């Protein structure tokens, strides 16, 4: 993957964490929340250099809709508790800020508020510089 290419990986198997989903008798929605988020993101104009990709299961099932940001030789991030209607702009804004950070490390205060409070994981790049 080129250093300037950014992927937003959207888990299409994610369910909502809304209270109605917690009931064992709750009906499975026709389209899962993760698939709804993916559809909404692909309908919105993505920032230049950002590709929205569907993936199956990011193993964050207890924290609602989940996306991962990755790119070239950058740190990767996983964010959860996303709402397919309310957080489309949040994801696109976060992806744009991520793209503009050469190493993927967006300063905490510059991240969208939802990203600050719902970071699931931060994963180092494959070629991590040596630290002393």
Residue 92 inside a domain? The answer is yes
Residue 22 inside a domain? The answer is yes
Residue 132 inside a domain? The answer is no
Residue 1 inside a domain? The answer is no
| pLDDT of 27 higher than 50 | yes
Residue 17: which CATH number? 3.40.30.10
Residue 79 inside a domain? The answer is yes
Task: Note the pLDDT tens digit of each residue in 69-78.
Answer: 999 999 999 9
Distance CA 1, CA 15 (A): 29
Q: Which domain holds residue 45?
A: 6-123
Confidence bin at 19 (pLDDT 50/70/90): very low
pLDDT average, residue stretch 71-86:
96
Distance CA 59, CA 66 (A): 9
Residue 87 inside a domain? The answer is yes
Distance CA 13, CA 101 (A): 29
The domain total for the chain is: 1
Residue 117 inside a domain? The answer is yes
- Quick one: pLDDT at residue 127? 86
pLDDT average, residue stretch 5-22:
79
Write down the residue that tokens 């709402």 correspond to: 83
């Amino acid at each position: 993957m080129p250093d300037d290419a950014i992927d937003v990986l959207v888990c299409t198997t994610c369910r909502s964490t809304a209270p109605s989903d917690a009931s064992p008798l709750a009906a499975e929605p026709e389209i899962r929340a993760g698939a709804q988020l993916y559809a909404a993101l692909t309908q919105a104009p993505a920032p230049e250099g950002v590709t929205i990709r569907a993936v199956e299961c990011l193993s964050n099932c207890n924290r609602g809709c989940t996306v991962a940001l990755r790119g070239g030789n950058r740190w990767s991030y996983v964010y959860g508790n996303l709402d397919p209607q309310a957080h489309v702009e949040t994801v696109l804004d976060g992806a744009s800020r991520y793209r503009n950070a050469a190493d993927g490390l967006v300063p905490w205060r510059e991240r969208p508020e939802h990203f600050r409070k719902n970071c699931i994981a931060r994963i180092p790049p494959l070629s991590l510089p040596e630290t002393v």
